[in-house]
Structure 1
Amino acid sequence: MGDLVKQTLATPIQLTDQVTKAADEAATFKQECAELKSKTEKLAALLRQAARASNDLYERPTRRILDETVQVLDKALSLVSKCRGNGLVKRVFTIIPAAAFRKMSSQLENSIGDVSWLLRVSASADDRADEYLGLPPIAANEPILGLIWEQIATLYTGSVDDRADAAASLVSLARDNDRYGKLIIEEGGVGPLLKLIKEGKQEGQENAARAIGLLGRDPESVEHMTHAGVCSVFAKILQEGPMKVQAVAAWAVAELAAHYPKCQDLFAQHNIIRLLVSHLAFETVQEHSKYTVVSKATSIHAAAVVLASNGAAAADHHHHLDDDKDQMPRPNQMYNVVTTTMSAVKPNSGCGGGGGGGKVSSLHSNHLHHPSISLSGASTRAREAEDPATKAQMKAMAARALWHLTKGNSAICRSITESRALLCFAVLLEKGPAEVQYNSAMALMEITAVAEGDAELRRSAFKPNSPACKAAVDQLFRILEKGDSELLIPCIKAIGNLARTFKATETRMISPLVRLLDEREVEVSREACVALTKFACAENYLHLDHAKAIIEAGGAKHLVQLVYFEQVVQSSALVLLCNIAMHVPDSEELARAEVLTVLEWASKQAALCQLEEVERLLPEAKGKLELYQSRGSRGFH
């Protein structure tokens, strides 16, 4: 921006010459004008020095300081020009308060301080040495602005270590206050942070990537960073950078995608989805260095899968899968599901060979079809040499990024489910550290949520006889059975999202969900109601079978209690109860639980009846029950 700055500097330099000339011609207040002239000449010298160093000046403070300086010099010229008159009448009628000169002198001092600070802050690290920069007068009313300018200037001109420290300072500022983050972006901090990620040492790269993640707190900020090239920088790091930096970059991707979902496709265009799945697959599945997203449903059968390198499941190797392909595997069959997937085709059979499975329709976005990503041998060896904690953190952040990138995005979900990611999530849900498990569960929840509304994705990725689907569902079921995990809510939601994929014979999900209706945590009970409603609603083809299974598992009595006594869960429980009553109105269990009485009571509750779904379902459910059951009776007509 050197030429532009030179042009901008021309105006204040010309003004200093005019002020100096007018001061020489002063006929009144000569002493005061001489003082202003002296300060103006000092300012002119600094401005000319700035013009010579214009290529090195930090743009944002330069513009603000020069604008302020021009205003000060305009006022100085106006003041000094009033002192040039020689006529007696002009002298009598030109009244200049003495305070005006004191104020003008102070303003010129401030401009001198601002330009002097600008030259120091824009100097190279060697020229500046350890000189204390202080605060420029222009930032006196907003000290944090001066600090931000100083740190960003250091990112431009500082040594490698100084740049790492400056990025750490920006991390602290961005973490403390959203407004500070906005200022960092407005003052041009994104560009040098991205440059530090590309060129810095590991500590500087980590700090810069963390700062980028913290700055992306709103759509406008994230959009600014995508225009600045954050996607390509993160893609390069996720492919080639040190694993600790890659983990921070993956976390930052998650933050940006969470606050601005429109950037999901931009990340996909830069291969970041593939790179993240590659990290997820590392030491979770075989052939991680040859990971490729393919468009055959059978690609999941072709994926060569192993459990994590700790070999915890080796003891299960002698077991065999159940002969019934429609039956979901039991927990101790996890390894068998994985090894069966491995043996389905040869390891290098690419798109699934000539076996079963039809062609899945192409992705919505052609940009998701890129050549496979292959990591060099040196890169793979470097990853293998990392300590277990770093590897676990990398998997946790990769899963977190995929969680936010898949949210509401059918194309990315299809890309992921056509890879080995579902199997990775299944293995990590069982064997991963707590954070890895949680992020994997959240990712599965988002993928299944998209699949719930995308019939094509649901059919291709969650076929009941798919080993990958079986493995994932088995782990969801295990967590439901356990019933006391932090993973419970996302897993309940994921099972509910898949309600339409289960066969009539596959009823094992119903019992644990019904048991969770009696959970002490009302949020868990509410989510269990919502999930069971997806099994029992009319939109589910097997709603009659599922409604009967809910009744057989003892759901009626739990729902009656929730409708009466749990206000948070009340509406969700009532909707589920209405669905069951509509489909199985002749149930003796519903009669014993006095469900008709409950529905009559609910129909008199104004708050409940105002809910759209209750208003639609309650009259029909109540009418069907009245055909089969007596009010207040425990038996039938």
Structure 2
Amino acid sequence: MAGIVKEILARPIQLADQVTKNADFAQTFKQECIELKTKTEKLAILLRQAARASNELYERPTRRIIDDTEQVLDKAFTLVMKCRSNGIMKRMFTIINAASFKKISTQLENSIGDVSWLLRVSIPAEDRDDEYLGLPPIASNEPILGLIWEQVAILHTGTLEERSDAAASLASLARDNDRYGKLIIEEGGVVPLLKLAKEGRMEGQEHAARAIGLLGRDSESVEQLVNCGICSVFAKILKDGHMQVQCVVAWAVSEMATYHPKCQDHFAQNNVIRLLVSHLAFETIQEHSRYTIPSKQSIHSVLMANTNGSEHGEDEYKQVNHPTGNQLPSQMHNVVTDTLFMKNPVKGQSNTHESQNPQKGNHHSTTRSHHHAALSGTSIKGREYEDPATKAQMKAMAARSLWQLCKGNVTICRNITESRALLCFAVLLETGSVDVKYYSAMALMEITAVAEQNAELRRSGFKPTSPAAKAVVDQLLKIVERANCELLMPSIQAIGHLARTFRATETRIIGPLVKLLDEREAEVSMEAVIALNKFACTDNFLHENHCKAIIEAGGTKHLIQLVYFGEQMVQIPSLILLCYIALHVPDSETLAQEEVLIVLEWSAKQAHLVEEPTIEGLLPEAKSRLELYQSRGSRGFH
């Protein structure tokens, strides 16, 4: 930095010397040239002082101020040289406006003010005796720029307390205006913020992490943040930092993943996924050793502690009517035990996949390395002593972050399903706080959405024999059956995404979804219909079984009502589902009794329906097939 500053200062210093030297030889406007000389000499002194202090100068304002100063000195030199013109003819044809001297003089004064401010802002506050810096003249048209420069300079030179306050100020600016956030990045604020996040006290680290999270409001900004090395810094904090700071870091990761999904892989490569899952698993399931099957008492106590200790979910839990009464903890205990047993069948035997990927940089023995790479949650000593509110917030932010990180990312979703995170989400849907439940449901929705498009992930992560996958489905189904909370929509979608994973013997899924067709809220009915379409579509191998289940659950009459009277967003998927049912179970007596053929004939006359691409080819085929079977079978109904 020092070498660069000296290089950019060299030309303005030379120009200042040239202006001073040539002002003495002015033939016209002598008094004005002397005034320019006086101000230029003062500016030259400041520029040389800046060159001597080049190690301390803050680069961004230095470049802009010296750039601007060089332009002013160039104009001053040109003006002085005009005044040196010898000969009557040269003077006659050299037009010099007296106002030019006033303009250049003002600009020199501004440059003096800018360089003076630069020298003051670049030294520690204690050396300034807390002198108020004010704004440099160069920032008069954009005061916020001067404020940003000042705060970033404090991040470079201030005490830990001053740097913490500066980070809080930058976070406030970034929160108020997206453009301010871009300016902070452009003016070099990211690197000192990261340094504070690594080295500062807890409050300073929080402010720095929050500011970084607020800076990433668009893909370009997040890309710049990633290039500055935030992934490794955040990973270290999630591993070894204070839990309050970790909460903010997890939130910041979720923000950046929201605005720039391409950063997902960068965080995954820095072990952030594992660390977040570790926080999710902490005190959620018994995970202090991945090589032993936990005792029933320990898991039961953890689950009961989570249930009773949930700040927001305690009353909600008590109000839920479960089919087995108060047996839920024991049921969930069985799921946890089964899952842990499947992952670790023999004491001392590690999971093959995860043992091949020990955490980078761990110098312990092999067993300790595998244990640490697992989701043990023991890497942060003393976090069990954190207050319950902080623990709950950490879980919420970890779930929120995983939700955003797994969106559309097969690799991360596979890592999550191969870890204990799936089981954690199942437990937290039941025992977590309101926020944790919501973020867990959203994460499951995104993971299942990826699984819907990826057969390998479906088979490995959601196979019917997997206790964790079964636990997830059980919890999602309970939410759908209750049908009265904000978790309903993501739960319906998640079940729909898993439509291809259910066996023919799994008959309990269709009924609750069919009941939602009678829901007053159009959005809920629409999501239920879309989910049922995934069960009934031709691509689903068990489409015939599912179509019969929909008929048996009374879905036909609801679909007819929605086709006739539903809003268009519900009407179209309802007609598609009715067509699938007619196509796959055309000989159903229920379809004949409900006069579904008449509904399809009416639909074929509605322009807005037949023009829909998904209906255009499906409706005539379903209608034709229904006519074929029911014209023959209708005689048996009389």
TM-score in terms of structure 1 length: 0.90
1:526 aligns with 2:526: yes
1:339 aligned residue: 333
Q: Is the 8 A contact 2:563 2:571 kept in 1?
A: yes
Q: Is the 8 A contact 2:254 2:401 kept in 1?
A: yes
Deviation at 1:92, TM superposition (A): 3.3
- Paired residue secondary structure (2:404): helix
Q: Is the 8 A contact 2:583 2:621 kept in 1?
A: yes
Deviation at 1:153, TM superposition (A): 1.2
More deviation, 140-149/374-383: 374-383
Deviation string, structure 1 residues 35-70 (Cα, Å, up to 9, x no partner): 111110111111111101111111111111111111
The CA distance in 2 between the partners of 1:358 and 1:179, in whole Å, is 48
1:454 aligned residue: 454
- Paired residue secondary structure (2:617): helix
1:556 aligned residue: 556
2:305 aligned residue: 311
Deviation string, structure 1 residues 483-507 (Cα, Å, up to 9, x no partner): 0110001100111111111122212
The CA distance in 2 between the partners of 1:377 and 1:549, in whole Å, is 44
Deviation at 1:582, TM superposition (A): 0.7
1:581 aligned residue: 582
The CA distance in 2 between the partners of 1:516 and 1:329, in whole Å, is 20
- Paired residue secondary structure (1:353): coil
1:591 aligned residue: 592
The CA distance in 2 between the partners of 1:142 and 1:155, in whole Å, is 21
Deviation string, structure 1 residues 208-229 (Cα, Å, up to 9, x no partner): 1111111112222111111111
Deviation at 1:97, TM superposition (A): 1.6
Deviation at 1:405, TM superposition (A): 1.2
Instruction: List alignment gaps of at least 5 residues for structure 2.
Output: 309-321, 363-368
Q: Is the 8 A contact 1:514 1:553 kept in 2?
A: yes
Deviation at 1:371, TM superposition (A): 4.7
Deviation at 1:589, TM superposition (A): 2.2
Q: Is the 8 A contact 1:181 1:214 kept in 2?
A: yes
Deviation at 1:635, TM superposition (A): 8.6
Query: Aligned letter for 1:410?
Result: V
2:46 aligned residue: 46
Q: Is the 8 A contact 1:285 1:306 kept in 2?
A: no
The CA distance in 2 between the partners of 1:256 and 1:384, in whole Å, is 28
Q: Is the 8 A contact 1:517 1:558 kept in 2?
A: yes
The CA distance in 2 between the partners of 1:366 and 1:313, in whole Å, is 32
Q: Is the 8 A contact 1:122 1:153 kept in 2?
A: yes
2:405 aligned residue: 405
Query: Aligned letter for 2:397?
Result: M
More deviation, 585-594/349-358: 349-358
More deviation, 52-61/453-462: 453-462
TM-score in terms of structure 2 length: 0.90
Deviation at 1:76, TM superposition (A): 0.3
1:353 aligns with 2:346: yes
Deviation at 1:360, TM superposition (A): 7.7
In 2 relative to 1, CA 105–131 (structure 1 residues): closer, same or farther, beyond 3 Å? same
The CA distance in 2 between the partners of 1:556 and 1:572, in whole Å, is 13
Deviation string, structure 1 residues 432-469 (Cα, Å, up to 9, x no partner): 11000000001111111111122222122212222111
Deviation at 1:291, TM superposition (A): 6.5
The CA distance in 2 between the partners of 1:491 and 1:299, in whole Å, is 30
The CA distance in 1 between the partners of 2:348 and 2:154, in whole Å, is 60
1:248 aligned residue: 248
Q: Is the 8 A contact 1:307 1:427 kept in 2?
A: no
Query: Aligned letter for 1:572?
Result: P
The CA distance in 2 between the partners of 1:46 and 1:334, in whole Å, is 76
1:609 aligns with 2:610: yes
Q: Is the 8 A contact 1:155 1:193 kept in 2?
A: yes
Deviation string, structure 1 residues 21-43 (Cα, Å, up to 9, x no partner): 11111121111111111110111
Deviation at 1:424, TM superposition (A): 0.8
Deviation at 1:311, TM superposition (A): 3.4
Deviation at 1:608, TM superposition (A): 2.4
Q: Is the 8 A contact 2:344 2:350 kept in 1?
A: no
The CA distance in 2 between the partners of 1:281 and 1:119, in whole Å, is 51
Query: Aligned letter for 1:353?
Result: V
Identity %: 67
2:267 aligned residue: 267
Query: Aligned letter for 2:31?
Result: Q
1:322 aligned residue: none
Deviation string, structure 1 residues 596-626 (Cα, Å, up to 9, x no partner): 2222222223332232211231111111111
Deviation at 1:241, TM superposition (A): 0.8
1:373 aligned residue: 372
Query: Aligned letter for 2:558?
Result: H
Deviation at 1:334, TM superposition (A): 3.9
Query: Aligned letter for 2:149?
Result: W
More deviation, 585-594/275-284: 585-594
Q: Is the 8 A contact 1:235 1:272 kept in 2?
A: yes
Q: Is the 8 A contact 2:280 2:395 kept in 1?
A: yes
1:502 aligns with 2:502: yes
1:6 aligns with 2:6: yes
Deviation string, structure 1 residues 145-178 (Cα, Å, up to 9, x no partner): 1111111111111121111111111111111221
Query: Aligned letter for 2:87?
Result: G
The CA distance in 2 between the partners of 1:92 and 1:21, in whole Å, is 24
Q: Is the 8 A contact 1:139 1:146 kept in 2?
A: yes
Deviation at 1:305, TM superposition (A): 5.0
In 2 relative to 1, CA 491–85 (structure 1 residues): closer, same or farther, beyond 3 Å? same
Q: Is the 8 A contact 2:339 2:467 kept in 1?
A: no
Deviation string, structure 1 residues 163-209 (Cα, Å, up to 9, x no partner): 11111111111112211111111111111111111011111111111
- Paired residue secondary structure (1:258): helix
- Paired residue secondary structure (2:83): coil
Q: Is the 8 A contact 1:308 1:431 kept in 2?
A: no
The CA distance in 1 between the partners of 2:282 and 2:339, in whole Å, is 21
Deviation at 1:84, TM superposition (A): 1.1
2:366 aligned residue: none
1:424 aligned residue: 424
The CA distance in 2 between the partners of 1:215 and 1:491, in whole Å, is 32
Q: Is the 8 A contact 1:22 1:80 kept in 2?
A: yes
More deviation, 480-489/411-420: 411-420
More deviation, 385-394/373-382: 373-382
Q: Is the 8 A contact 1:300 1:468 kept in 2?
A: no
The CA distance in 2 between the partners of 1:167 and 1:634, in whole Å, is 81
Deviation string, structure 1 residues 275-312 (Cα, Å, up to 9, x no partner): 11110011111124x579xxxxx99999x955646437
Query: Aligned letter for 1:514?
Result: V
Q: Is the 8 A contact 1:6 1:51 kept in 2?
A: yes
In 2 relative to 1, CA 32–467 (structure 1 residues): closer, same or farther, beyond 3 Å? same
More deviation, 22-31/603-612: 603-612
Deviation string, structure 1 residues 315-367 (Cα, Å, up to 9, x no partner): xxxxxxxxxxxxx99685543343334544988x9754399999889999999
In 2 relative to 1, CA 579–346 (structure 1 residues): closer, same or farther, beyond 3 Å? closer
1:319 aligned residue: none
Deviation at 1:547, TM superposition (A): 0.7
The CA distance in 2 between the partners of 1:47 and 1:205, in whole Å, is 36
2:188 aligned residue: 188
Deviation at 1:270, TM superposition (A): 1.1
Q: Is the 8 A contact 1:299 1:350 kept in 2?
A: no
The CA distance in 2 between the partners of 1:627 and 1:198, in whole Å, is 73
Q: Is the 8 A contact 2:359 2:372 kept in 1?
A: no
1:108 aligned residue: 108
1:119 aligned residue: 119
Q: Is the 8 A contact 1:602 1:608 kept in 2?
A: yes
1:624 aligns with 2:625: yes
Q: Is the 8 A contact 2:480 2:513 kept in 1?
A: yes
CA-based RMSD: 3.3
The CA distance in 2 between the partners of 1:602 and 1:378, in whole Å, is 61
Query: Aligned letter for 1:586?
Result: D
2:474 aligned residue: 474
1:396 aligned residue: 396
Deviation string, structure 1 residues 122-148 (Cα, Å, up to 9, x no partner): 111221232111111111222211111
Deviation at 1:379, TM superposition (A): 6.4
Query: Aligned letter for 1:373?
Result: H
In 2 relative to 1, CA 562–476 (structure 1 residues): closer, same or farther, beyond 3 Å? same
Deviation string, structure 1 residues 567-615 (Cα, Å, up to 9, x no partner): 2212111111111111111222223333222222222233322322112
1:324 aligned residue: none
